[in-house]
Structure 1
């Protein structure tokens, strides 16, 4: 889910409490960054490593060789055991597919160093301790579970995201799949805070860059052959959010546009690491993306990096943290730090490269900086209670409210927005007739390696 700008796109409060202090409890300040500029190689890595839930300091890639066992002939008909298998569409809770709670690793990449003197040894142990406490076995298990749910759901959605499908159908398949696989339907107070959707499903067509989702009562939109569709959704387990997105285009005329953005995202992932300079990453990502051009209707168009939407770090129960990763050259002294979780995403466009707010509402988010005092309408107070109990600081949509059975909430929502307690987010668009592509993955900056947690064999 793309972040707008540091000033414009802060998200809501802690999922369990409405005070700003609770946020600090869940997301403590980071310690000073470790030294050493990081680079790595993504291509050719084996994604399916053996999960080591207590592996917080070592990141060796492991492979498990399975032995072929001869099956005895049996004339007796036996009932096939369905445990450990997923359905199509995916609807089996992941806890039943992985009964041992060992979920697949993401793509694990050792940090590269150019000088033996820069190797991370016992001299950095004090700095490691805070990060390790935040990246314990529960942390990795939750993140790997969320990532595996995202992989299984998106791989199914890629098979049905074809011309003729409606946006409502895609959103339903994504959201029903995520809730089924997490084992949390989110219909009881607090259940959606245990696991489920990390933010509203983004389904953005053509010049719509980000923040569009089908709303109840609106005319349904059908995917056409000449459309460019961005699919952006998040999965959380215990507030640990995996954010990943991909682009679908049936017409091969857009192949170079998609290739440019995918290459830019992969470059950002390659350069990400402990103590990596964000301005360095941004400059290289822009160079890669804008080295491409695309030919549409006989006209050659350069691919531009979108300048006012960024990648971002992720905090617990907060999809957008306090760090931005632009994909245009920028001036900042921010660096990535040990223990950070980043959504590395890029948007490339055939338009102006600057997104503006469109008509409509994508979703809502609680503002932890505004106290809910002085609310005049009972409907606003009741709605705020529902928001706090079911979403906390997670961004939510009208679909999610109405799924809970909330009715006649529009006046109460207007009051909450007017008071600043809740923020609303509009779709973001480039000029009409332009096309935008997006690719995104989530990377964990662990003490001795980075793990592209959402990487799969689909992209």
Structure 2
């Protein structure tokens, strides 16, 4: 039977509008007549509201909308505390690299995997403090790399970075905050320069700038650096130093001898050359700078810290399981050696501070301020200004002369040379190597 035939033979479907109308008539005229006064007073029936076929979909959509609205959004520049994005406290892992050669067994060793799990699951583990610092570093530096331009003052650059760090860790002291003064080192200056109050230095188009940023959480310092330039002639210098840092990371591992690692870094670095102004310059590893271990509240690992040389040496010291290293390399178009020069800005209280009687009352007061706000973390004169100290140079120099505070003046290669730096921090975990500061940018 065709569809037309079926339709013709079937009774017509009731019209809902007609049914409603009939109901209305019956209500108003229950006897079928014109209706009595009592019947007229009866109220007309209201149609029931149509219910949603799937009522739960409305609630799900509303829940999703509210959930989306509740998610925090990072500001620009980044100033929203990182804890709002990771309320459970689990922060992103860094880049995982397998160990090489004789240490490959660690990847599958059940004993080492269990040791790694126990460390990861410990709520007080240093891993999570380091990873939080790493995520803060990535956000702050990526904003800096997008926004730093010639014409900005070095003070503006450094203070923007430090403001972001303090906001994201939601701290400014011994529990969390800036790990060390932000280095903004220009041209032949390789390290340890940050502007003091009143510095008016402006970044210029022909400059090459090393930006060294530190973040600490519970004393665990994340140390990572990069180089910026707006002159294409320095591209090969920058590439050489970045490649040397990556070699150091790749070849680092448990039982690796530090002197041999330095030789591999040097070999990579010095395989490059740079053409500047029509003249060819070999890239030299800066021999008296190095990478280093980092221990709680001590950027250079304290008295028992290990150094990662940038040239081959006879150092037979080995890297060990659990070591936390800053792998940093410096390259130069100059002599490949730095000297202290210029106005000092970086300081740090010595870890095992000697019991020395201080004859200056101002020095005693300043030492209390340093202990309260910085402990053994590096600080600079701008930070003393920030916590309200003034006219402190005599007291500060007295603390240095008494062996209580170390000073770290800027480090320069020869005049006219150009230097570059890259740096990452790594953990030598029981099963693998974690490059905690790695990001999409470098």
1:207 and 2:188 correspond: yes
Can you list the C-alpha shifts for 1:4-52, whole angstroms capped at 9, x where unaligned? xxxxxxxxxxxxxxxxxxxxxxxxxxxxxxxxxxxxxxxxxxxxxxxxx
1:350 and 2:350 correspond: no
Find the counterpart in structure 1 of residue 84 from structure 2: 96
Runs of 4+ displaced beyond 6 Å: 71-74, 77-80, 115-120, 122-126
Distance, in Å, in 1 between the alignment partners of 2:78 and 2:175 is 20
Q: Tell whether the 8 Å contact from 2:120 to 2:127 is kept in structure 1 after alignment.
A: no
Distance, in Å, in 2 between the alignment partners of 1:414 and 1:455 is 38
Q: Tell whether the 8 Å contact from 1:293 to 1:301 is kept in structure 2 after alignment.
A: yes
User: How much does 1:362 deviate?
Assistant: 2.4
Distance, in Å, in 2 between the alignment partners of 1:359 and 1:135 is 47
Find the counterpart in structure 2 of residue 421 from structure 1: 404
Distance, in Å, in 2 between the alignment partners of 1:269 and 1:338 is 15
1:431 and 2:414 correspond: yes
Distance, in Å, in 1 between the alignment partners of 2:86 and 2:312 is 43
TM-score, normalisation: structure 2: 0.81
Distance, in Å, in 1 between the alignment partners of 2:133 and 2:308 is 23
List runs of 5+ in structure 1 lacking aligned partners. 1-70, 187-191
Distance, in Å, in 2 between the alignment partners of 1:412 and 1:364 is 13
Distance, in Å, in 2 between the alignment partners of 1:117 and 1:85 is 43
TM-score, normalisation: structure 1: 0.78
Q: Tell whether the 8 Å contact from 1:135 to 1:446 is kept in structure 2 after alignment.
A: no
Secondary structure in 2 matching 1:246: strand
Find the counterpart in structure 1 of residue 15 from structure 2: none
User: How much does 1:431 deviate?
Assistant: 0.6
Distance, in Å, in 1 between the alignment partners of 2:315 and 2:282 is 27
1:258 and 2:258 correspond: no
1:181 and 2:178 correspond: no
Find the counterpart in structure 1 of residue 202 from structure 2: 222
Distance, in Å, in 1 between the alignment partners of 2:166 and 2:104 is 47
Secondary structure in 2 matching 1:200: strand
1:398 and 2:412 correspond: no
Structure 1 residues 116, 458: closer, same or farther in 2, change over 3 A?
Answer: closer
1:403-414 equivalent positions in 2, closer than 5 A:
403-414=386-397
1:55-66 equivalent positions in 2, closer than 5 A:
none
Find the counterpart in structure 2 of residue 288 from structure 1: 268
Find the counterpart in structure 2 of residue 140 from structure 1: 127
Find the counterpart in structure 1 of residue 211 from structure 2: 231
1:317 and 2:317 correspond: no
List runs of 5+ in structure 2 lacking aligned partners. 1-58
Q: Tell whether the 8 Å contact from 2:292 to 2:326 is kept in structure 1 after alignment.
A: yes
Structure 1 residues 116, 154: closer, same or farther in 2, change over 3 A?
Answer: closer
Q: Tell whether the 8 Å contact from 2:185 to 2:210 is kept in structure 1 after alignment.
A: yes
Structure in which a larger fraction of residues adopt helix: 2
Q: 1:106 aligns with which of 90, 94, 98?
A: 94
Q: 1:297 aligns with which of 260, 277, 283?
A: 277
Relative contact order, CA 8 A, sep 6+: which one is greater? 1
Secondary structure in 2 matching 1:157: helix
Distance, in Å, in 2 between the alignment partners of 1:116 and 1:424 is 42
Distance, in Å, in 1 between the alignment partners of 2:104 and 2:71 is 48
Larger radius of gyration: 2
